[in-house]
Amino acid sequence: MALNMTSLAIKTLIEFIESDRTIEEASKHITLILYKEFECNKIKDLINNVTTYVNIVSSYYNEILSKKKYVRNTYIMTIKTPLLVHTHNPYMPINIGLSWHPIFNLPYIPSTTIKGVLNRYLDEKDLIILDSFPVSCKFRLIIPQIITPHYVNEFSEHKINPTPLIFPAIAPGAGFNLTIFSKKKIEKEDINKALFYGLGAKTSIGYGVVEI
């Protein structure tokens, strides 16, 4: 069983504040622990639990919405490049750059993120979309990413000593459920067209490529 992300964040934040270390160092520490602990073979129970939840909720919505002539569209989104999706979490004392579910202890893609992308490309506007959770992964669910900050002010090159920022991302190869209720069937090709430019943050530099 993987460690609890919220507990890890709280423990790390306290330790790093007491030792006068930076938030950037705390983020690196958390990222490397997530990379180690969220190997696919270690989180099978978490994925099985959330898959059961997804199926129950999907069936519940379908029972209600089918009476209003909605159609249930279900797909699996495969993550092709590292994915960064973040929403503010009041239970998380430090920003890790990922939306993390406090109950299921897994990263997830909020329905609002998906709906925002689909609404721009699909003719069907009356969509009801459920949060998307990992239902499969290849080797690891979380991988570290590194960026080096750029400086606004001018410096002599020999004086610059930038500190790389290390943060977690969802690993390529992970599969996320996608459940959409609509007034008509949505074809797989249309979903892929809508998702062409990616999900989440940093899509302009190649992050967040997904495919049905």
Question: Whole-number mean pLDDT of the chain?
Answer: 86
pLDDT of the residue at 162: 61
Interatomic CA distance for residues 136 and 210, integer angstroms:
14
Which residue, among 113, 112, 207, 114, has the nearest Cα to 168 in the 3D structure? 207
Interatomic CA distance for residues 161 and 168, integer angstroms:
23
pLDDT > 90 fraction of the chain, expressed in percent and rounded: 52
The model carries a pTM of: 0.86
Residue 120: pLDDT band with limits 50, 70, 90: confident
pLDDT at 123 over 90: no
In total, the chain counts a number of residues equal to 212
Which residue, among 131, 123, 133, has the nearest Cα to 182 in the 3D structure? 123
Please report where in the chains the tokens 């067209």 appear, as a residue: 193
pLDDT at 7 over 90: no
- Taking residue 153's Cβ as centre, other Cβ atoms within 10 Å add up to 4
Tokens standing for 56?
């129950």
| Cβ atoms of 30 and 168 closer than 8 Å | yes
Q: What is the pLDDT of residues 129-186, one digit of tens each?
A: 999 999 999 999 999 998 776 554 555 555 555 667 788 999 999 999 999 999 999 9
Q: Partners of 78 in the beta sheet? A: 175, 211
Interatomic CA distance for residues 33 and 9, integer angstroms:
11
Going by the DSSP 8-state scheme, the letter that residue 171 receives in this structure is P
Amino acid present at 185 = K
List Cβ neighbours of 206 (8 Å cut-off, separation of 6 or more): 81
Which residue, among 51, 52, 205, 190, has the nearest Cα to 134 in the 3D structure? 51
Interatomic CA distance for residues 182 and 83, integer angstroms:
26
List Cβ neighbours of 17 (8 Å cut-off, separation of 6 or more): none
Alpha carbons within 13 A on the beta-carbon side of 113: 20
pLDDT of the residue at 95: 64
